[in-house]
Amino acid sequence: MAQTTRSAASNGPDGQRAPAPPPKGFRSAELGWPELHRIPHPPRRLPVLGDILGANVRTPLQDSMKMAAQLGPIFRRKAFGKEFVFVWGAELAADMADESRFAKHVGLGVANLRPVAGDGLFTAYNHEPNWQLAHDILAPGFSRDAMAGYHPLMLDVARQLTARWDEREAAGRSVDVPGDMTKLTLETIARTGFGHDFGSFERSAPHPFVSAMVGTLSYAQRRNVVPPLLTPLVLRGADRRNDADMAYLNRTVDAVIAARRAEGGSEAGGSGDLLDRMLQVAHPETGERLTPENIRRQVITFLVAGHETTSGALSFALHYLSRSPDVLARARAEVDEVWGGEGEPAYEQVAKLRYLRRVLDESLRLWPTAPGFAREARTDTVLGGEHPMRRGAWALVLATMLHRDPTAWGDHPEEFDPDRFAPSAVRGRPAHVFKPFGTGARACIGRQFALHEATLVLGLLLRRYDLHAEPGYRLRIAERLTLMPDGLTLRLSRRARAA
């Protein structure tokens, strides 16, 4: 099996030696921002400790959102000697989307996942060659033809969800929205991508894979906020649990891969699902193949990222639909009209649910489940014409605040309004102000997969049920690198016309 061995400093196509990659490891802001003093920070900064007054280790993102509202479109936070720059203004974020000057930065939280995901698509450094190799091999797995092939499997998993919800509705019991959406999306990516059935809907508790995944994400989040000197003491027990969680993820994925190897792959000779492509397809130009270790990392990446963010997006959308009767009625009317008397939609019919897609986009605007992304300077540059950055300097783009910038979204950006995504409204907005899937070459490869799955599931649920919000519930956000509604339940009733 050919393996990639290209060096990050190998010769380019013009024979010139490419520049060495930026230094590895965390780089505090003062190392890359020569005029850092011009960027505001919270008041009451403490020596050594930094900007910790009022901070909550469980809600670092929401704390940053509050600071952003007070400090403006670019600001900085410091804790225990580490300083971070945050950007959320529409103009500055658009500047950082310039691929000629900026690239993805594997920030602290993402880097904390590298022990389990390594150089997978999401966690790879830009200079690691397996990222481009995997991207080129796997991209056809998200083509239109491939997506159409996944559609029947998505429908099959959705039937498992509705069977579960029918039972809850008949018993007069509410449904656990995040829990059930997690089961749905895990089964969907596992079956469509890897031919594996976790049996999630046959379990009363989450599958151990989900528990291990949540554990690793939560641990990575905690590593962000615990001072390095205190990590051995504060996270001693968490270290052991995280090691066990990572070992379980690895064992599970190794078993999935071993089963596929034993089967010999699909009869289509590698043109089947994502796992077939990883195991059987070589790069079309170089002939290189993914190494066994990298295949494991890619499978873990897809299983985790391919279900965690989509389950959050579905959960937020269902929350807003249950609280917005006019939007719910309009979305349901569209589903009934577009799908007509069909029991289940064909692949092509899902894309015709344009208003329902606006509902999903608006939910992702308010609470993008991947709430930020980091960008680093490819060369020495100046951000927004006034903030110098050295090569390798980075900042975290707060998507949750970018999506609330009044200069792009109007005077009431906190309001839920799907018509923000009407074609005329989209044309009237600046570019690069809606980024729930990241930006540039390293944006989410599975974006269309996630959007098709989520739109399909929402349409099926609206066609079948009336959604009733729990009267006392107020939206709470659970942070574990990704975002999820905390404690969201809904009551259901079957629609009279539902099959």
Closest by CA position to 196, among listed 276, 77, 84, 87:
276
**b/e per residue, 17-53, with b = 16+ CB within 10 A?**
eeeeebeeeebebeebbeebeebebbeeeeeeebbbe
Q: Is 3 a residue whose pLDDT tops 60? A: no
pLDDT at residue 107, as a whole number = 84
pLDDT at residue 37, as a whole number = 96
Give tens-digit pLDDT for 141-157: 999 999 999 999 999 99
pLDDT tier at 204, thresholds 50, 70, 90: confident
Q: Is 360 a residue whose pLDDT tops 90? A: yes
Give tens-digit pLDDT for 410-444: 999 999 999 999 999 999 999 999 999 999 999 99
How far CA 33 is from CA of 42, 62, 108, 190, 395, in Å, comes to 18, 25, 18, 43, 10
Query: Cα–Cα distance between 484 and 313 in angstroms, integer?
Result: 8
pLDDT at residue 390, as a whole number = 97
Q: Which residue has the higher pLDDT, 317 or 25?
A: 317
**Are the C-beta atoms of residues 343 and 206 closer than 8 Å to each other?**
no
Query: Cα–Cα distance between 426 and 263 in angstroms, integer?
Result: 48
pLDDT tier at 497, thresholds 50, 70, 90: low
| Catalytic-role residue among 192, 444, 455, 482 | 444
Tell me if residue 102 is catalytic.
no
pLDDT tier at 6, thresholds 50, 70, 90: very low
Q: Is 161 a residue whose pLDDT tops 60? A: yes
Query: Cα–Cα distance between 369 and 485 in angstroms, integer?
Result: 10
Q: Is 358 a residue whose pLDDT tops 90? A: yes
Burial class (CB in 10 A: 0-12, 13-18, 19+), 234: middle
Q: Is 4 a residue whose pLDDT tops 50? A: no
Sheet containing 175-176: give its strands across.
175-176, 489-494, 465-469
Tell me if residue 444 is catalytic.
yes
Q: Is 268 a residue whose pLDDT tops 80? A: no
Q: Is 269 a residue whose pLDDT tops 60? A: no
Average pLDDT, rounded, for the chain: 90
Give tens-digit pLDDT for 87-134: 999 999 999 999 999 999 998 788 888 988 999 999 999 999 999 999
| Catalytic-role residue among 84, 102, 194, 437 | 437
| Catalytic-role residue among 185, 301, 309, 310 | 309
pLDDT at residue 341, as a whole number = 81
**Are the C-beta atoms of residues 334 and 356 closer than 8 Å to each other?**
yes
pLDDT at residue 21, as a whole number = 62
pLDDT at residue 199, as a whole number = 94
> What mean pLDDT comes out for the span 154-162?
97
Range of 112-121, 216-225, 470-479 with top mean pLDDT: 470-479
pLDDT tier at 22, thresholds 50, 70, 90: low
> What mean pLDDT comes out for the span 326-330?
98
pLDDT at residue 266, as a whole number = 54
How far CA 146 is from CA of 155, 244, 270, in Å, comes to 15, 35, 13
Give tens-digit pLDDT for 57-89: 889 999 999 999 999 999 999 988 889 999 999
Tell me if residue 437 is catalytic.
yes
Residues 6+ apart with CB under 8 A from 345: 338, 339, 456, 459, 460
Tokens of 248: 């379980």
**Percent of the chain at pLDDT above 90?**
77
**Percent of the chain at pLDDT above 70?**
91
Give this prediction's pTM: 0.91
pLDDT at residue 408, as a whole number = 96
Give tens-digit pLDDT for 224-240: 777 666 667 667 788 88
Range of 9-13, 44-48, 205-209, 309-313 with top mean pLDDT: 309-313
Closest by CA position to 483, among listed 361, 302, 318, 316:
316
Q: Is 287 a residue whose pLDDT tops 70? A: yes
pLDDT at residue 223, as a whole number = 77
